[in-house]
Amino acid sequence: MPNPIKNMLRKSLRMRKELGMGFYVTDFVFRKIFRQNSDTQWAVHHTSTLHAPYNIKRGLHVFPGDSPGVYINALNGIEIGDYTNIGPHVGIISANHNFINNEIANKAHPIIIGKHCWIGKGATLLPEVVLGDFTIVGAGAVVSKSFTEGYCVIAGNPATKIKDLNKQECLDFAATKQYN
């Protein structure tokens, strides 16, 4: 039986249905009291680390760091398209340090991840990578080059395309999603 008070609370605090209240209580304690990931404007798992979250542009239903153990360095910027999922223990690293002086972050183009992508457990995306829509990154992959065409599955170290997805099926699925 639906609880109208709980539903009203979830809606007013923008809490996602798929996450339990414990996730949000833990997020509050770690972000607001312990100040871990305090610059992040959305709930994140307490074991995730986001550097420069203000440089992350995220689409609809995208919550970088809500899975455990995610590491995101957004010093050079990261753009994540609508309905993209980031699995546990993923690393998204937009900046590398200078080879001589590791106190300096090298400038680079932002990482761009398309709509409806899925970044599998333990995958790593390195600076300047661009992934097209519907790119699935296999668990443990190291993505050091771009796959701008999208509609594919990539895996391995270094990541290579292992499968093409049916573009029309992907577009039909995307048409069922809500956009602003």
Asked whether residue 34 is assigned to any structural domain, the reply reads: no
Q: Are 42 and 72 in contact (CB under 8 A)?
A: no
Residues present in the chain in total: 180
Amino acid at 84: T
The secondary structure of 28-84 as a DSSP string is HIIIIIS-TTTT-SS---TT-EEESGGGEEE-TT--TT-STT-EEE-TT-EEE-TT-
Can you give the pLDDT at residue 101? 95
Does residue 54 belong to any structural domain of this protein? Answer: yes
Rounded distance, CA 48 to CA 33, Å?
16
The answer as to whether 140 is a domain residue is yes
* Position 129 in a domain: yes
Two structure tokens written together for 112: 């761009």
Tell whether 88 is covered by a domain: yes
Answer whether residue 135 is part of any domain: yes
**What is residue 28's predicted lDDT score, i.e. its pLDDT?**
87
What is the tally of structural domains in the chain?
1
Whether 95 is covered by a domain: the verdict is yes
Residue 110 CB burial class (10 angstroms; 0-12, 13-18, ≥19): buried
Residue 13 is assigned to a structural domain of this protein = no
**CATH number, domain at 69?**
2.160.10.10
Q: What is the mean pLDDT of each successive set of 10 residues along the chain, which is 180 residues long? A: 74 77 86 90 95 97 96 98 98 96 95 98 98 98 98 98 98 88
Which range marks the domain in which residue 52 is found?
40-174
